[in-house]
């Protein structure tokens, strides 16, 4: 008799625990501390009915590393203008993400921020952006076009490697271009360089794997050494 009562109480406790866990973890939630978004935690509901749109709360000023890493069900994320900093790999491998608009006061897209977001097609870079970090958009294979604001000063190594870019016009004001920025962009056909460019790191590897590149447009008097495949047409402006 006593054993039955004990088993009954244990069963009730376990039942309450399971129900509580489901209630607490049913829907996704943001883990935020001191206005820093630490993690987007997917709930049980998201595994049943994937949430395609995520709206980050307006009080967030910083997004931590890996906050949305591998959230493959998300198609669009709305980032409020309150966000001043995004850390490395924050949105990496969000494989179904198709569109992103950066907040107006962001100055840097960091290392691997959107790496391997394979379906990313639309990127709105903000007017105050200065730096695009290493491999920031690497592996975004559906990204065919991007417009750079004139505020950009540095684009680092592998930033747009293995993307679907077809034509690139680098902005006037750009001063530094890292090596292998466009490595593996086998759909890239045309690229225009600005007069402001001062440094190209590892010039010989800038177009490595750009098998369809056929036109490079340079400013008159361009002094930085570039290496091309045979058959590339060089134009000056």
Confidence class for position 84, pLDDT limits 50, 70, 90? very high
Confidence class for position 234, pLDDT limits 50, 70, 90? confident
Most confident residue range from 15-19, 43-47, 150-154, 225-229: 150-154
Q: What percent of the chain has pLDDT over 90?
A: 68
Average pLDDT over residues 52-58: 92
The angle subtended at Cα 78 by Cα 72 and Cα 82, nearest 5°, is 130
Min mean pLDDT across 14-23, 60-69, 71-80, 181-190 is at: 14-23
Confidence class for position 108, pLDDT limits 50, 70, 90? very high
User: Which fold, 27-236?
Assistant: 3.80.10
- Euclidean distance between CA atoms 126 and 87, whole angstroms: 17
Is residue 203 within 8 A of residue 180, CB to CB? The reply is: no
Average pLDDT over residues 43-68: 81
Tokens of 65: 């590393």
* Predicted confidence (pLDDT) per residue in 7-42, tens digit: 555 555 554 444 444 344 434 478 999 999 999 986
Sequence-distant (≥ 6) Cβ neighbours of residue 194 within 8 angstroms:
170, 171, 172, 173, 174, 219
More confident residue, 6 or 153: 153
Q: How do beta strands 36-41 and 29-33 pair?
A: antiparallel
Q: What are the residue boundaries of the structural domains of the chain, listed by start?
A: 27-236
Q: Which of 91, 82, 99 is nearest to 64 (CA)?
A: 91
Q: Output the pLDDT for position 203.
A: 62
Average pLDDT over residues 74-94: 97
Q: C-alpha distances in angstroms, 191 versus 51, 81, 126, 185?
A: 38, 31, 21, 12
- Euclidean distance between CA atoms 97 and 56, whole angstroms: 15
Min mean pLDDT across 1-5, 82-86, 104-108 is at: 1-5
Q: What percent of the chain has pLDDT over 70?
A: 81
Q: Output the pLDDT for position 24.
A: 40
Average pLDDT over residues 149-171: 97
Q: Output the pLDDT for position 18.
A: 44
More confident residue, 213 or 205: 213
Q: Output the pLDDT for position 61.
A: 98
Confidence class for position 189, pLDDT limits 50, 70, 90? very high
* Predicted confidence (pLDDT) per residue in 36-51, tens digit: 999 998 654 455 556 7
């Amino acid at each position: 008799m006593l054993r039955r009562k004990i088993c009954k109480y244990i069963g009730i406790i376990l039942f309450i625990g399971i129900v509580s866990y489901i209630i607490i973890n049913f829907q996704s939630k943001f883990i935020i501390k001191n206005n820093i978004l630490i993690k987007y935690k997917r709930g049980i509901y998201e595994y049943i009915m994937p949430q395609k749109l995520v709206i980050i709360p307006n009080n967030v000023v910083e997004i931590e590393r890996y906050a949305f890493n591998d959230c493959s069900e998300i198609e669009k994320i709305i980032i409020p203008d309150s966000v001043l900093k995004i850390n490395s790999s924050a949105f990496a491998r969000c494989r179904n993400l198709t569109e992103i608009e950066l907040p107006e006061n962001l100055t840097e897209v960091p290392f691997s921020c959107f790496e391997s977001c394979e379906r990313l097609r639309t990127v709105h870079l903000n007017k105050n952006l200065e730096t695009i970090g290493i491999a920031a958009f690497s592996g975004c294979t559906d990204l065919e076009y991007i417009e750079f604001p004139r505020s950009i000063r540095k684009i680092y190594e592998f930033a747009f490697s293995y993307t679907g870019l077809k034509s690139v016009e680098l902005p006037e004001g750009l001063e530094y271009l890292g090596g292998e920025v466009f490595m593996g962009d086998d759909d890239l056909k045309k690229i225009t360089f600005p007069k402001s460019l001062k440094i190209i790191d590892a010039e010989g590897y800038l177009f490595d794997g750009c098998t369809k590149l056929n036109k490079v447009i340079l400013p008159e008097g361009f002094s930085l050494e570039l290496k091309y495949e045979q058959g590339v047409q060089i134009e000056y402006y």
